[in-house]
């Protein structure tokens, strides 16, 4: 099977491309290259693909999709803070780029479209309720969240007998990638503990965050490729593990255990952070049980991060720098006039 992976030079895409190749898929990468040089470790551990297209997702055309059987669409302005950099551009890229790609894919005979969506569409929720895919209220409050929800609604209208659409909504991702991110919660906590010896939580630690390892997210996308059309077509899945909702306190304590001797303090200055939500993973763990079998937990993930940091000689400068923080990297490319205001290469 020939799979086009958009955003293959990102945090998740770097891992996904390697796994797909190892499983025998033919892989074409499609990426604009904002984060191409943001990598750690040996260069041979970077994503692997048979072909690389270096291009803006807003400019995809039919020639890019020749002989493609399936698309895993990761490319996006990738979180709430980056999305708020320019809400209009976020809509162009995350919604307009996705819509254009999907319409062209259906026209060109691509059979399956796997969409990387987001749990941020749930917004602020009642903590007592575990949010399910269809029945829970959608309350997107950021440009990023709104475009992810709107894109899902658009894509599902294209689902049919000759074009299978599957949408996955990952929990906040953690774990090692050649293009590591430290602007996601568990990676941030472990990296802070490792490089500074301290973890400082400015809330009271009570907010809830679902988290999932990057390799388990990749396993979900591959399940979307492998499961029968009539099982997954037009469906959305929260991606996580059983009992995969954690309080910030839980995450901080797991990070502290991963870095023995590190200090953990809760200042409480922000009180109970309103960004708190718990998500149900019953659908993916039941409907896709023959295809999706997550294997990671916080303890193993924390140990993996620390081992990689030791091998890389990872420093506080790396932790706080543009290479591991996506908004910083985009702002750096803008300030050095490598990108214009439309986030196009100059």
CA dihedral 184→187→188→189, nearest 10 degrees, is: 130
85 pLDDT more than 80: no
Tell me what pLDDT residue 267 has. Answer: 75
What average pLDDT does this structure show over 152-177? Answer: 98
Tell me what pLDDT residue 124 has. Answer: 74
Tell me what pLDDT residue 289 has. Answer: 98
Please, are residues 326 and 35 in contact by the beta-carbon 8 Å criterion?
yes
Rounded-to-integer distance, Cα 183 and Cα 11, Å:
11
Tell me what pLDDT residue 83 has. Answer: 67
* Residue 154 falls inside a structural domain: yes
* Residue 262 falls inside a structural domain: no
43 pLDDT more than 70: no
Confidence of residue 204 (pLDDT cuts 50, 70, 90): confident
Residues belonging to the chain:
346
271 pLDDT more than 60: no
What average pLDDT does this structure show over 185-211? Answer: 93
Residue 322, class by beta-carbon neighbours within 10 Å (0-12 exposed, 13-18 middle, 19+ buried)?
Answer: middle
* Residue 340 falls inside a structural domain: no
* Residue 64 falls inside a structural domain: yes
| Whole-number percent of the chain with pLDDT over 70 | 94
296 pLDDT more than 80: yes
Confidence of residue 48 (pLDDT cuts 50, 70, 90): low
In the predicted model, what is the mean pLDDT of the chain?
A: 93
Rounded-to-integer distance, Cα 19 and Cα 22, Å:
5
Tell me what pLDDT residue 141 has. Answer: 86
Residues linked to residue 112 through DSSP beta bridges, in sequence order: 70, 164
* Residue 322 falls inside a structural domain: no
User: How far is Cα of residue 339 from the mean position of the Cα atoms in its chain?
Assistant: 23
> What global pTM score does this model have?
0.95
**β-bridge pairing 130-131 and 164-170:** unpaired
53 pLDDT more than 70: yes
* Residue 344 falls inside a structural domain: no
Q: Worst-scoring range by mean pLDDT, 23-27, 198-202, 208-212, 273-277?
A: 273-277
- Read off the DSSP letter of residue 171: P
Tell me what pLDDT residue 44 has. Answer: 61
Print the domain residue range for 164: 2-181+212-245+279-298
* Residue 26 falls inside a structural domain: yes
Number of domains in the chain: 1
275 pLDDT more than 70: no
Tell me what pLDDT residue 273 has. Answer: 52
φ, ψ (nearest 5 deg) of residue 288: -110, 25
- Read off the DSSP letter of residue 321: S
126 pLDDT more than 70: no
Backbone torsion region of residue 269, taken as left when φ is above 0, otherwise alpha when ψ lies between -120 and 50, otherwise beta: alpha
What average pLDDT does this structure show over 262-278? Answer: 74
Residues 6+ apart with CB under 8 A from 115: 73, 98, 151, 152, 155, 165, 166, 167, 168
Tell me what pLDDT residue 67 has. Answer: 97
* CATH code, domain with 56: 3.40.50.720
Tell me what pLDDT residue 207 has. Answer: 87
What average pLDDT does this structure show over 259-282? Answer: 81
Q: Worst-scoring range by mean pLDDT, 28-32, 156-160, 267-271, 290-294?
A: 267-271
* Residue 7 falls inside a structural domain: yes
Confidence of residue 46 (pLDDT cuts 50, 70, 90): low
Please, are residues 8 and 14 in contact by the beta-carbon 8 Å criterion?
yes
pLDDT tens by residue, 130-144: 999 999 989 888 899
pLDDT tens by residue, 235-261: 999 999 999 999 999 999 999 999 999
Confidence of residue 87 (pLDDT cuts 50, 70, 90): confident
Tell me what pLDDT residue 173 has. Answer: 98
For the residues of 196-213, what is the DSSP string, one character each?
HSEEEESS-S--EEEEEE
pLDDT tens by residue, 171-191: 999 999 999 999 999 999 999
Tokens representing 164 are: 């299978």
């Amino acid at each position: 099977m020939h799979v086009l992976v958009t955003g293959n030079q990102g945090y998740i895409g770097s891992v996904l491309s390697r796994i797909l190749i190892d499983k025998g898929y033919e892989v074409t990468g499609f990426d604009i290259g904002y984060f191409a040089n943001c990598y750690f470790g040996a260069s041979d551990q970077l994503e692997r693909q048979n072909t690389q297209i270096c291009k803006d997702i807003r400019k995809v055309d039919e020639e890019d999709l020749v002989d493609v059987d399936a698309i895993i669409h990761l490319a996006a302005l990738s979180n709430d803070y980056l999305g708020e950099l320019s809400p209009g551009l976020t809509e162009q890229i995350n919604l307009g780029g996705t819509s254009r790609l999907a319409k062209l894919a259906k026209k060109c005979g691509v059979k399956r479209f796997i969409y990387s969506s987001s749990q941020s569409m749930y917004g602020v929720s009642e903590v007592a309720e575990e949010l399910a895919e269809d029945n829970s209220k959608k309350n997107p409050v950021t440009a990023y969240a709104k475009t992810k929800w709107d894109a899902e609604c658009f894509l599902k209208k294209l689902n049919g007998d000759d074009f299978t659409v599957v949408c996955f909504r990952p929990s906040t991702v953690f774990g090692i990638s050649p293009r590591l991110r430290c602007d996601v919660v568990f990676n941030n906590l472990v990296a802070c503990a490792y490089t500074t010896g301290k973890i400082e939580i400015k809330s009271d630690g009570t907010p809830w965050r679902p988290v999932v390892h990057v390799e388990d997210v990749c396993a979900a996308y591959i399940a979307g490729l492998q499961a029968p059309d009539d099982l997954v077509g037009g469906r959305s899945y929260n991606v996580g593990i059983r009992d995969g909702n954690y309080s910030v306190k839980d995450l901080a304590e797991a990070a502290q255990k991963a870095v023995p001797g590190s200090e953990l303090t809760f200042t409480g200055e922000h009180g109970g952070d309103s960004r708190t939500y718990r998500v149900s993973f019953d659908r993916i763990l039941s409907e896709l049980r023959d295809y999706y079998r997550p294997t990671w937990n916080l303890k193993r993930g924390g140990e993996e991060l620390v081992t990689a940091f030791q091998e890389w000689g990872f420093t506080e400068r790396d932790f706080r720098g543009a290479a591991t923080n996506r908004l910083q990297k985009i702002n750096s490319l803008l300030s050095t006039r490598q990108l214009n205001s439309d986030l196009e290469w100059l």
